[in-house]
Structure 1
Amino acid sequence: MNRMSFYRPTFVKITQFSSSNKRIKDSVEAVYLFRTFAEIFHRGKQEILLVMSLDEDNRLLGMEVIPVKESQPLRASEVFAGSILRKANAIKIGRFTTSDLMPSPSDEWMAIRLTKAGDFLGIAVKDFIIITDKQYFSLMDDGSKESQLPTT
């Protein structure tokens, strides 16, 4: 007889943002929270994704750090896991990089793929933001990308 293991996913509260009840209205506010979170939890040079889970009023429910590995493609299950457990209505994704600010073809492909996965799950991808030390680039703020990400 084979034995099967069962797991119960849980969240551990590491820190609390003072603005956790504030509505995230635009990419400027999202980048501010992404940078605040990254200062606390990201000390290395490795690229990371931060996924911000939002409720129906665009209030912050939580955030996850996902390391980006050059050799492995990012899986949608990694991106949406915390948001599903939090019953989020939407997410905003921030990619921290030390390289080029402009989105690469793989960034655009990832944004489209995650948007389609979010549509299937009922979790809207509100924005995909590339963040460097001094600047950021939002695919939603750039008019040429509006057809790739939902506008609501």
Structure 2
Amino acid sequence: MAYLKELKVTFTRKRVDDDLLNRPVESPEQVYALFKDMHNETKEKVVVLHLNPQLEILSYEVASIGSAKATLMEPVELYRNAILARASSLIVVHNHPSGTCKPSQADIGIAMRLHELGVIHGMPLQDFIIIGDDAYSSFQEDGRFR
């Protein structure tokens, strides 16, 4: 007898201000307002926002939790779950427990791989945002995705 695996996807809810949702994501500041509490985390964390064609947030997932200095981000995994969520595009939010929001070489490399994969699959990476101590860095604002 063979077995077939059933994929189960569950969703939980996060309480946020009403004015931050139910409208298109228009700026990195809007995303930062939703996830600025990530700067208090003691471990690196990766959160992926799944967006509809109007750039409204459909859902989000905690894609990875690492150590104080690093975390693992597999582009295929991030896009697989975005496809399951029926997203049209995505935003990756990542924290640096050290407090700096300056992208590391690893951040730049993975963000560019995610961007390229998004172009290939027609599901663009809208932004890659790094959260530090009361500040953020946005790859879109810095012009890295041109």
The TM-score, its normalising length taken from structure 1, stands at 0.80
In structure 2, the partner of 1:82 is: 81
Aligned residue among 53, 62, 67 for 1:65:
62
Amino acid at match of 1:47: E
Q: Which residue of 1 aligns with 2:102?
A: 102
Tell me the residue number matched to 1:140: 140
Q: TM-score, normalised by structure 2?
A: 0.82
Deviates more, 1:21-30 or 1:72-81: 72-81
Higher relative contact order (CA 8 A, sep 6+): 2
Match of 2:112 in 1: 112
Point out where structure 2 has 5 or more consecutive residues left out of the alignment: none
* CA distance in 1: counterparts of 2:14 and 2:66, whole angstroms: 26
Q: What CA RMSD, in Å, does the superposition of the two structures yield over aligned residues? A: 2.3
Conservation of the 8 A alpha-carbon contact between 2:45 and 2:71 = no
- Find the counterpart in structure 2 of residue 34 from structure 1: 35
1:123 and 2:123 correspond: yes
Give the C-alpha shift of residue 77 in structure 1. Answer: 2.9
What residue ranges of structure 1 are gaps of 5+ in the alignment?
148-152
What code does the residue aligned with 1:46 have?
Answer: K
CA–CA distance in structure 2, aligned partners of residues 68 and 54 of structure 1: 22
- Percent of pairs with identical residues: 23
Per the alignment, residue 48 of structure 1 pairs with 45
The amino acid across from 1:90 in the alignment is S
Letter in 1 for 2:129: I
| Number of aligned residue pairs | 141
Aligned to 1:8: 7
Give, in angstroms, the shift of residue 32 of structure 1.
1.1
